[in-house]
Homo-oligomer: A and B are copies of this chain.
Amino acid sequence: MQIKVLRNILESNQRLSDQLQAMFNEKRILVLNLMSSPGAGKTTLLEKTLTRLKHEFNMAVIEGDLQTSNDAEKIAATGAQVLQINTGRGCHLDASMIQEAVEQMDLNQLDILFVENVGNLVCPAEFSVGEDCKVTILSVVEGDDKPEKYPLIFAESSVLILNKTDLLPYVDFDPDKASNIARGLNRNIAVIPVSARTEEGLEQWYDWLRQRVNQKKNN
C-alpha cells in the first residue's frame, strides 16, 4: 500500500517533468539539476559560474532549501535572476515545485536554468524536474566510497564534479577510486575535479556547459 502510493507519486512526477522538459526544449533552454550532500559546494560553484559566464549566457537559478533564503541572496548578488523555493521539511524538489516557480520567472532569451536541489544525496535522485541533465557535486572531504554507498544519484548523473580539491592534501580521498566507481555505475558520466573556492579546474566545467548550450541551440 505504501509502495503503491510512492509509485503513483513518482509516476505523476515523471509525467509533469516530461511536460516541463517539452516546454524547455521548445524554448531551447538548457536545464541542469544540481544535487549534492549539504555543504558540498553547489552554491559556490553557481556563484563562480554565473559571474564567469554572465557575458556569454543568459542564466537563471531556482534555489531549493528547507529554510532560509541565504543561498538565493548570494545568487542574486551575481546579478542573475533567482527564485527561492523553501520546502519546509521536504527533502527534495519535485516537478510541481519547478512548474510553480517558472510561472513566476522570465524565461525569454534564457540559455541556462540551474536548479539547485535540497542538500541530500538520496531523495532528489528519484524526482526529475524537467532537466536535460543531472549534475552531482561530491566534496572530496566526504570520502571516495560515496558513489558505492549512494549509487542511484551517480548512476543518474551526466556529470560528477569532484569539488574542494584544494583540501586533497589534508584528507584521504583517491579521485581515481571515486571516478572509477562512478563510471562503473554510469559509463558516460563526465568527471570534473575542481575547487570552486580557488577556481582550479573550473574552465573544464565551463567548456562542458558551452558545449551543452550549443547542442541545445542546434537541436
Interface, chain A (partner B; CB < 8 A): 2, 5, 9, 37-40, 65-68, 70, 89, 91, 118-123, 126, 139, 141-143, 145-146, 148-152, 164, 166-167, 170-171
Q: Shortest Cβ distance from A51 into chain B, in angstroms? A: 18
B66 lies within 8 A of A149 (CB): yes
Q: Shortest Cβ distance from A187 into chain B, in angstroms? A: 19
Q: Which chain B residues lie closer than 8 Å to A167 at the CB level?
A: 141, 167, 170-171
> In the assembly, how many copies of this chain are there?
2
Q: A91–B37 Cα gap in the complex (Å)?
A: 13
Q: Which chain B residues lie closer than 8 Å to A123 at the CB level?
A: 91, 120, 122-123
Q: Which chain B residues lie closer than 8 Å to A39 at the CB level?
A: 37, 139, 141-143, 146
A149 lies within 8 A of B89 (CB): no
Q: Shortest Cβ distance from A179 into chain B, in angstroms? A: 16
Q: Shortest Cβ distance from A49 into chain B, in angstroms? A: 19
Known contacts A89-B122, A91-B120, A119-B149, then 11 further A-B pairs from the complex at CB < 8 Å, ordered by chain A residue: A2-B9, A5-B5, A38-B146, A39-B143, A65-B149, A67-B149, A68-B148, A89-B152, A118-B122, A141-B167, A167-B171
